[in-house]
Amino acid sequence: MNAWFAGSMGNPPLTPFRVVATIVQGPPPPQATIWIGMLIHSLLSGIFGLVFAALIASMRRRTSHGALLWAGLIYAGLIYIVDFQVLARFIHQFSALRATNQPLELAAHLVFGAVLVALLALWAPRTRGRRAE
């Protein structure tokens, strides 16, 4: 979503990764390296996904997929709030996040939460089947 938006605004599609790279390289984004942004974003997404999986592990069997979807959306929304609204205001390394399109960032994070729940729902039957063997 972010790459599409960047391209539609006349910027290179990988520009959002420059913003993410500022978390370790510091602002301003034009000086940041795209591959570092890709690495940071991938690592953070994986870590956030593992944390969510651990948080819902005990409730996954007795909770509906709809409730899990809400949990994923709330979790992803909280990630957005912490990163883009709290850390970006108080920590210089995150300040470049304030210049991004906030509604788009919120939507992208909510999509992350929904996809995360979908992947966990697909993974759950396989895990249960292996335990039964």
pLDDT digits (tens, 9 = 90+) for 45-90: 999 999 999 999 888 778 888 999 999 999 999 999 999 999 999 9
What letter represents residue 30's amino acid?
P
CA distance 36 to 92: 18
pTM of the model: 0.85
Number of domains forming the structure of the chain: 1
Q: What is the DSSP letter of 57?
A: T
**The predicted structure's pLDDT at residue 104:** 96
* Helix (H), strand (E) counts: the chain: 6, 0
Q: What angle is formed at CA 75 by the lines to CA 71 and CA 78, rounded to 5 degrees? A: 140
Q: What is the span of the domain harbouring residue 20?
A: 2-132
